[in-house]
Structure 1
Amino acid sequence: MLEPHLTLTMALGEGPHWDGYQQRLHWVDILGGELHQLDPDTNQHQVWRFDEPLAYAVPNDKGGYLAAFRSGLWQLDDRGQKQHQLVEGPQNPDISWCNDGYCDAHGRLWIGTKNAEESEPTAALFSYQGDVRQHVDGVTISNGLAVSPDNRWLYFSDTPTHRIYRYPLDIDQGTLGQPELFADTRALALPGSPDGAAIDEAGHYWAAMYGGGVVVHFDEQGNVVETLPLLAPNPTKVAFGDSDLRTLYVTCARQGMEQTTLDQYPDAGSLFSMRVATPGLPDHRYRDTGGDTT
């Protein structure tokens, strides 16, 4: 079972990313506009706060961070301070804004958006590596981004549909083929809705189930291997971390929870973890193919 690793009260914890260079875990509180960093060896925990919601942040191989804010993509310095905006959007923030993010093995950022009201299919999936390219439209809440160990498949879900898809990926060109259904979580009678995910070195897909209080471990064919409970109803995304990539970290949210529910789940909004048998795939830094970021 997943246990509290760091007690927090995040409104919408999201986007855990393990940086193997720093040996640090990074994640965000979207609604709090916070970037968190944790050294698991020393338990040193840092928080940088911003003036707007922050959906995802990933270390940049040229220094600092690439951060997806509601206003668009920004370059941050090593101290988590905004340096300059790289691109607006990629959509009108009154309609849709950045949500789930992932960097592939070429250092390309895949960033999905969500409808501002979480009710209409106005969002989309984009990639960014110096320029923005749109790949999928008609999305309500982008989630579940991950890439298979052989770089042949990109996984993606639109949370309200309860469906996880995988797209043939041309990793060199950064293009996607026609999707196939990987798992229908409603048909599988799984609790909650598919949120953020990660893949282990065996190619198994681990997905947080928002509203379901579990992380679901799927095999390569989309069969359920196990469900892992945590004492928080809204897990949001998972990441594999630590030096051996065998600690499963899970962020979660406490937004919209009634006080009676918060009393029942006092660790809602915390960072959870557990040890697992199979290591995860290494997370990748953003690789800037343009000029200097400083």
Structure 2
Amino acid sequence: MTALLSICGLSVVARLAGGDLRLLDDVDIDVDRGRIVGVVGESGSGKTTLARTVVGLLERNVDVEQGRVTLAGDEVVAPGVDRTDRVRGSAVGMVFQDASRSLNPLMKVGTQLAEVLRRHVRGITRAEVERRSVEVLAQMRITDPARVLGSYPHQLSGGLRQRVAIGLAVVTRPALVIADECTTALDVTTQTKVVGLFRTLVDELGIGLLFVTHDLMLASDLCDRIAVMSGGRVVEQGAADQVLDEPQQEYTRRLLAAIPSWS
């Protein structure tokens, strides 16, 4: 069966005045429908560059040197090829690290959801926009959707803002969602709720989720598979319990050893 997302031999370089800097080196990762793949590693390992490559949000001086990215078998990224504008926001949703920055502070939540729906769902009616906006906030386990729809982002708690950001990513019913360190700024209790929400969304909607995080324990709670990155390369990947219980690479063992123990 064709993977929902297939990243094959992907290498990405930054063109700098002093020469080229390789950001990703021959990366291979697949994400299937209804599955969660965690991409873990320390800062600078290439996790965010990978996520941004998939959705076509690279800086102007950053190029795909080799490899390709396919979505449901269709090529969207390759050297000299960028078809991400066709799928970003419709077939692929993105949740960023800081919800307060990804939400427009001058627009009410309802207006932002409506804008996304009108941009990506052809021919949608006003009634359908309203229905789906309420529906997606209910899916986010928001108990008072009407109040949130009429609120500005600054009027919401950090946890609610992050739920709204996730709602914006899934309101168009994409096949794939990419979450880039989206729980980092949250307290532990809220983080746990958001992780549970992702698991529910994947199970109920059958989407694929690429979950980028530096937190191995968080990945172990959520992900079906884990890819460990270091220096722009995937150094180890496999089933989550296999990678965490029987790590084969020294780098993975060092990451696990760095996790605080409270015993």
Q: Give the TM-score, by structure 1 length.
A: 0.28
How does the TM-score come out when normalised to structure 2? 0.30
Structure having the higher helix fraction is: 2
Flag the structure with higher strand content. Answer: 1
